[in-house]
Structures are given as C-alpha cells and as structure tokens.
Amino acid sequence: MINSNEIIDDIANKEYEFGFSTDIEMDIAPPGLNEDIIRFISAKKNEPEWLLEWRLKGFAAFKKMEFPKWQHFEMPTLDLQALSYYAAPRKKKQLNSLDEVDPELLATFEKLGIPLNEQKALTGVAVDAVFDSVSVATTFKGKLKEMGVIFCSFGEAVQEHPDLVKKYLGSVVPHTDNIFAALNAAVFSDGSFVYIPKGVRCPMELSTYFRINAQNTGQFERTLIIADDNSYVSYLEGCTAPMRDENQLHAAVVELVALEQSEIKYSTVQNWYPGDKDGKGGIYNFVTKRGICKGTGSKISWTQVETGSAITWKYPSVILQGDYSEGEFYSVAVVRNKQIADTGTKIHHIGKGTKSRIISKGISAGHGDNSYRGLVAVGPRAENARNFTQCDSLLIGNQCGSHTFPYIESRNKTAMIEHEATTSKIGEDQIFYLNQRGIDSEKAVALIVNGYVKEVLNQLPMEFAVEAQKLLSITLEGSVG
C-alpha cells in the first residue's frame, strides 16, 4: 500500500512542476498537515512565491507552539493530522455568471436561506459566497468596481491585487500570533478581500456567507479588509451549518486596517452547529479577529451575535494606534445545552485621545458555560484615553455558568477606564407576570432576552438585526420550564 504522504508528494510535486490550470476536477486533499500539503495548496491556488514562503513561515511558527492553557474550558482533543486541508467544489471551467454555478450548489444555498441572487440585489447587498473554501459566485462587482471598491475572494485578490495583499497580509494578525493564527497562515484556503479606496463610502453592506460543508475539512478562512483614508465600509458575516456528527475546527483569521479618518463596521451572526444535547459533534470556532486603527480619527466597530458552535473562542480586538481613533465591541453570546463560549475583546490604546466602548451581553441556559474575557490596555502615550465597559450576564435556569475575566492595564495617569458588570437571572416572577398577561413562557423569555440584547442588536444593520432577533428566539426555545 502506498503511503498517503507519498501520494501527496507525488501530486504536489508533479503539479507544481507543470504549473496549475484552474480547470481541475475537484479534489479533496488526503488528511495530514505537512510542508508538502502547504506547497500543494499554494500551487493549487497558483500563488506567488512570497505567499508560499509566508505560509511556510506560518507552519514553522505553528510547529513551535502549543495549545493555550488559560482558557476557561477543557481543550478538546484535536488531531490536526486527521484533517484534510484542502477541499473545493468540483468545477469544470471558470464560471462567468451565476447561471453557470452547479444548480445543486445553488439549491443548497437556498435551503440555507442564503439568497444569492435577486433577493439580495433588491435589498442592496452584495454577496461573496464562500462554499467550502472556494468562492463560487460574486455579485455586484460591477457597481463596486465603478467606485474603485475591491470586494473579491482572497484567492482572486492574491492574483489581481498582489501588492495590496502583500502589504497588509499578516500586518494585524502576524503568522506568529497564536497557534491557530499560525495554522491559518500555513493552510488558509480562501476568504474575502475588501479594499475601499480613499474618500469612498461603500454604498452597500458587504456580506459574506460562510458554510462548513465537507466532512473532516478544517475551515481556514482568511479575511482582509482595508479602508483607505476617509472611507467607510460595513461588512456582514453570517454563518449557518447543517447537522454534523464529527467535530469541525474552524480557525479563521480576520484582519481589519483602518487608515486616516476611515471607519470599518464588522458584524457577525454566527450560528454554527452547536452539537447535540450532550455537546457532541459541534463546531469549534477558534477565530482570530483583530483590527488596527492606524490612522488618526479612524474607527473600528465589531458587533457579534454568537449563538452556535460547541465552543466559541475568540476576542475580536482593536489596536488604537492612530490618535483620537475609536474602537467598539458589541457582543451577544448565547450558550445552551453544553455549549461553551469564552469570548470578549482586547482594546489596546496606543494613540492619544483614543476611545473605546465594550458592551458584552452573555446569555447562559441549560448547562452552557459563558465567559467574558476582556483586556483594556492603555499605553504610556495614550493621553486622555477613555474606555467604557459594560459586561452583563443573564442566566436562565440553575445549571448554567457565567464568568467574567476583565483585565485592565493602564500605564497612563490621564486614562479613564470604567467597568460595569451585572448578573441577572430571568426570574420566575417575571415569567409569571408575562404569563398572566397572556404570553406563554417561551415568548416571555424571547421578549426578555430581546430586550436584554437590544443595545447590541441595534448596532446591526436593520435586516440583520431582525434575523438575529429571530435566531435568538429559536436558539432559546425550550430552555425554560
């Protein structure tokens, strides 16, 4: 029997030797993580040499790292050698329009409620759909192109805008950042790339839907958004995944770069398969998201609604480098059954007059365990930095857990840092009061929860906010009584 590594060696070397064309019948790489598979991925994507080298540096860093131990949950056993690091849908040739996309693929999107076509067109949302690591369709490109906005798959950006990619890739989340970021650097498959040119206000919400599909395929998306001077962009990321029996690792990286006076708003609704009642089979969502406010007066705002995944582990962060720059983090994290969330943010105040605002709303039901972990660090140059943190926990039932780990480091006397925290429980009295007005317990909980998270949902674009509200109600169904 031939060793699978040998096969990869064989394929990788051979294909590399002769170069790659795009019209390959799809393949799924055999499981395993090694330099050859990285070369294979890079070759398949027809990447320039510098990118392959960067991947290899990421892999070298990865090999030296160990899994962290500080998190507030038991790290699941991850056999990274058992994962396959490349999968793409079959495609016969380069597609020119949606009509050419495999109808079955489109049907799956429909089932997931991902309106790829006219529906979105009517609501003014451009969609870049990522299906199993490879972008299959992009709409609205023309309109965005007119304004100079680049919104495409990461792979495409590497081919068509290599200078931008080279300049900013890894500039916010370096390949050495943490073990998952290093892994992502080594094997990232595809993702989204956005560039908003100087002075342009992106005319529509940019939206990407991710989906984890092929079994045993780690998802390693990479997103890079650059807002040039005086520009604005709002980016939406939403996820759904079908039922799964085996755990799936998702270790994405998102990098945001905001230049002078620009603003990036990044919103996420995450609803990946959380596992069954015993927590078996859910997604591990270990994502590194970070933005840098490089320019004076720039602003980055993260909004997240996290209801899915077996384990959600991420800290969308902001580095406030530019003077008077501003960072925001709005979060709703829901855990039920045996779900775990260890999430929060890190805000680094470096420039003077920098401001940040953190609003975190944790909801725990069932046997769920919810932790807020946040760092507010004020550097010596950050004169008059201001931070306001509000960190609320809502408990439903008696068996869930909620924890808060706020870290505050101030190295400037003029800084003002406020931290408020509350813990509340949906009381039987509240439920009974609403029952007595004709509202059943399920609806009562939904009403209370939606009231509780309103401040965060208000940050989402209207259409998204409505979806998120529905999602929360559905998620908490059956958690009372």
Site residues (CB under 8 A) for other proteins? 424, 427-430, 432-441, 443, 447-448, 450-454
Comparing CB distances to other proteins, the nearer of 92 and 443 is 443
Residue found by looking up tokens 């940050």 in the block: 459
CA 257/CA 261 separation, integer angstroms:
12
Q: Compute the least distance from the CB of residue 423 to other proteins, in Å.
A: 13
CA 389/CA 406 separation, integer angstroms:
9
Q: Compute the least distance from the CB of residue 312 to other proteins, in Å.
A: 23
Comparing CB distances to other proteins, the nearer of 63 and 443 is 443
Residue found by looking up tokens 């004020």 in the block: 378
Comparing CB distances to other proteins, the nearer of 66 and 429 is 429
Comparing CB distances to other proteins, the nearer of 319 and 456 is 456
Comparing CB distances to other proteins, the nearer of 117 and 441 is 441
CA 34/CA 56 separation, integer angstroms:
10
Q: Compute the least distance from the CB of residue 472 to other proteins, in Å.
A: 13
**Which residues are within 8 A (CB) of 228 and not within 5 positions of it... i.e. 6 or more apart?**
195, 196, 197, 198, 199, 200, 259, 262
Q: What angle do CA 227, 233, 239 make, to 5 degrees?
A: 115
CA 9/CA 32 separation, integer angstroms:
12
Residue 264 near residue 258, CB atoms below 8 Å: yes
Q: Compute the least distance from the CB of residue 479 to other proteins, in Å.
A: 17
Q: Compute the least distance from the CB of residue 450 to other proteins, in Å.
A: 8
Q: Compute the least distance from the CB of residue 458 to other proteins, in Å.
A: 11
Comparing CB distances to other proteins, the nearer of 300 and 305 is 305
Give which of 469, 468, 476 is closest to 268, Cα–Cα. 468
Comparing CB distances to other proteins, the nearer of 52 and 439 is 439
Q: Which two tokens stand for residue 234?
A: 């709002």
CA 398/CA 42 separation, integer angstroms:
50
For 227, phi then psi, to 5°, come to -110, 110
Q: Compute the least distance from the CB of residue 469 to other proteins, in Å.
A: 12
Q: How far apart are the first and last CA of the chain?
A: 57
DSSP 3-state of 236: strand
Comparing CB distances to other proteins, the nearer of 190 and 392 is 392
Exposure string (b/e) for 281-298, b if CB count within 10 Å is 16 or more?
bbbbbbbbbbbbbbbbbb
Q: Compute the least distance from the CB of residue 453 to other proteins, in Å.
A: 8
CB-based burial label for 122 (10 Å; 0-12, 13-18, 19+): exposed
Comparing CB distances to other proteins, the nearer of 63 and 454 is 454
For 335, half-sphere exposure in the C-beta direction (CA atoms, 13 angstrom radius) is: 28
Q: What angle do CA 151, 154, 155 make, to 5 degrees?
A: 120
Comparing CB distances to other proteins, the nearer of 21 and 423 is 423
Q: Which two tokens stand for residue 324?
A: 């008077």
CA 166/CA 380 separation, integer angstroms:
31
Q: Compute the least distance from the CB of residue 432 to other proteins, in Å.
A: 6
Comparing CB distances to other proteins, the nearer of 151 and 452 is 452
Q: Compute the least distance from the CB of residue 459 to other proteins, in Å.
A: 15
Residue 390 near residue 406, CB atoms below 8 Å: no
- Given CA atoms 184, 185, 188, 193 in this order, what sign does their dihedral have? positive
Q: Compute the least distance from the CB of residue 431 to other proteins, in Å.
A: 9
